[in-house]
Structure 1
Amino acid sequence: MVFRISGSVYANVPGDRLGPGLRHGGKLFGIEGYNIRRLYRVPGTERLHQLSREIVFYTDPDEPRTVLRDWVNPLDGRTYPVVPINNDTVNFGPFPITPAFAGPPLRRLHDETAWSTDIGVRADYGATLGETFGLIGGVYTAQELFDFSVADQEAAARTVPGEIPSGALRAKVSWARTAPWAPFMGLAESEVRGQLTYRARAWSLGSYGEVEPWLRAEVEARHPLYTAAPEEPGPSENSWTSFYNKQLGKGATTWAEWCATHSRP
């Protein structure tokens, strides 16, 4: 199945101290993409993994179907190449396939069942990768906030004893993230006080073929790996470790060197 993702990214600047170039609350980017996933059962066991890849493009804030290739940093006037969120892979598990397994608490909201997952993220990249990315103390901190909901009719169709419905669960997701400046932006958190606020919604699709043609064309031309989910469990990436692996050559280049060599006046 696929979770199609669509939303926006805003500047969050304490005291609005970076204006007029980088105003607090300014919409910097649109975001358009998806997470493509499958379930994997470890052969001969009762352990289940969720395996996925995700590709999300930064787009023109006024035209969501226009994928940005470059971004002008309003503080230093330099143009930087835009690197999409391209995480290979994003995996979870294993989960036990037993009657005792319990997910997050569920709540009824009118004619829907809803649940939330809130994740406070902390990763010391200075210690684990030897790369600080300009982060304060080399430590990445973020908040990932998810709300999921499923209509009563959909839930009822999937809880009939002895029946296994076909197709993807028709679920909706609201997602928000507060995080440091994206690595491609050339902004060091330790020097430029502020962060990004991501706000998006997502909805399930039955397959990659249900993704809009314009988005599939972009993926197939530039990121064909993301047309399918992984086949078996493996290590996960996030936006920062993906940038480290793919843009910095796993440490062959520093973030500061990348910013200097890949930007132009």
Structure 2
Amino acid sequence: MKKGNVVFQIVFVKLLIVVSLLLGVHTTFAKEIKNDTSPKVLNPGSLYLQIKDPQDRLFFNALARPDGKDMVYHIKGKAYAYVPGDIYKSKLNHGAALFGIEGYNIRKAVQIEGTNDVIVLTREIVFYTDLKTGEILEKWTNPITGKTYPVSHIENDHVNFHYRVEDGKLKTVINNGNREIGAFPIAAPESLGDLLVYHADAFPLYNLNERYNINDSMNLKNETYTSAEFFDFLVSDKYVNQMKGNQIPKGSVPFTNSWTRVSPWTPWMGLDENEYAGNLTFHARSEVLDGFDDLPEWIKEEVKENYPLYTSSLDSIDSSPNATSWTSFYESVLKPINKTWKEWLKLYP
């Protein structure tokens, strides 16, 4: 990893890395477990009780349930076109809503046996939806080129994160490959009235070839994904007192979240960053649910029928880099047909 990327990760932690969870902070923070891709894991409850600061304990509940069961972040919002200079005029106006998004991240925390390390194991699936009907989009017509492409939804298996309980504090662990950079304390939340706000301002940066061995730039400049993401996690301050004592909480704490992301056009939109200036701007809200069964019926039915893997979180630790929309598109669309992104475009003249 380049020095600049290491500096970015440290700065990001100091700003408070909350979850990657939610769609899309694509930087990998999960530790690569040396010589064992699936170490034995335990319920995280005993480690949770070692955390002394109630606000740190509350943050743990933003990450996952201390009882080790699945927890869900249900997310819903829209994606808009960000067009510098409004250069596409009537074809695609700056600020035009393009499609809705709705889905979830499902997660649980585990302790690595023999350590004070906690891994948050997550999968996430998010559907692009029709703005008028709310139904899942199967295809989408690009207003700039007039071409129609099949929609590839967000299927990220996995997105994992690494934490440690040390001297009674919950810390975020950052690694450079197999070398640990350090474990950093969680920053205190801000108080707004009777709310506590944990926040993170992130600027993900990764090279497809260097991190994922994908020798295809797809629609990205310099084979490199660059974006900006802004998270606010809100919870009533009354829950701080509930974090005290020697009891492991049952169920989830009702965190809510606001998320904004500015990113490249998704690969299935058929727009090359080198040719078509602009970005997607996502703005969405999410809420914590106890588990998969609490999701809207249409999501549960769709996932059970077509994406059963996402009915639960992972059962073991996968030390490979976290999945992203681009790696998912490569694995599910390009790799099976042995095509590059530019060759795939030619299938839809």
TM-score (normalised: structure 2): 0.72
Query: What is the aligned partner in structure 2 of residue 59 from structure 1?
Result: 129
Could you tell me how far 1:181 is from its partner in structure 2? 0.3
1:154 aligned onto 2:239: yes
Please give the residue correspondences for 1:108-257 in structure 2 after superposition, counting only pairs within 5 Å: 108-127=191-210, 128-157=213-242, 159-234=243-318, 235=320, 236-249=322-335, 252-257=338-343
Among 142, 146, 153, the alignment partner of 1:77 is 146
Please give the residue correspondences for 1:26-41 in structure 2 after superposition, counting only pairs within 5 Å: 26-41=96-111
Q: Deviations over 1:236-257 (max 9, x none)?
A: 1011111112212189321111
Return the letter of the residue paired with 1:171.
F
3-state DSSP of counterpart to 2:346: helix
Query: What is the aligned partner in structure 1 of residue 164 from structure 2?
Result: 95
Could you tell me how far 1:163 is from its partner in structure 2? 2.2
Q: Deviations over 1:47-76 (max 9, x none)?
A: 100010000000011233x01000001122
Count of aligned pairs between the two proteins: 261
Query: What is the aligned partner in structure 2 of residue 21 from structure 1?
Result: 91
Return the letter of the residue paired with 1:54.
E
CA RMSD between the two structures: 1.6
Return the letter of the residue paired with 1:254.
T
Could you tell me how far 1:19 is from its partner in structure 2? 2.2
3-state DSSP of counterpart to 2:92: coil
3-state DSSP of counterpart to 2:260: strand
TM-score (normalised: structure 1): 0.94
Distance, in Å, in 1 between the alignment partners of 2:133 and 2:238 is: 35
3-state DSSP of counterpart to 1:131: coil
Return the letter of the residue paired with 2:140.
W
Listed as ranges, the gaps of 5+ residues in structure 1 are none
Return the letter of the residue paired with 1:258.
W
Return the letter of the residue paired with 1:202.
S
Query: What is the aligned partner in structure 1 of residue 346 from structure 2?
Result: 260
Distance, in Å, in 1 between the alignment partners of 2:163 and 2:342 is: 37
3-state DSSP of counterpart to 2:169: coil
Q: Deviations over 1:195-236 (max 9, x none)?
A: 100000111000100001011111112211111001122121
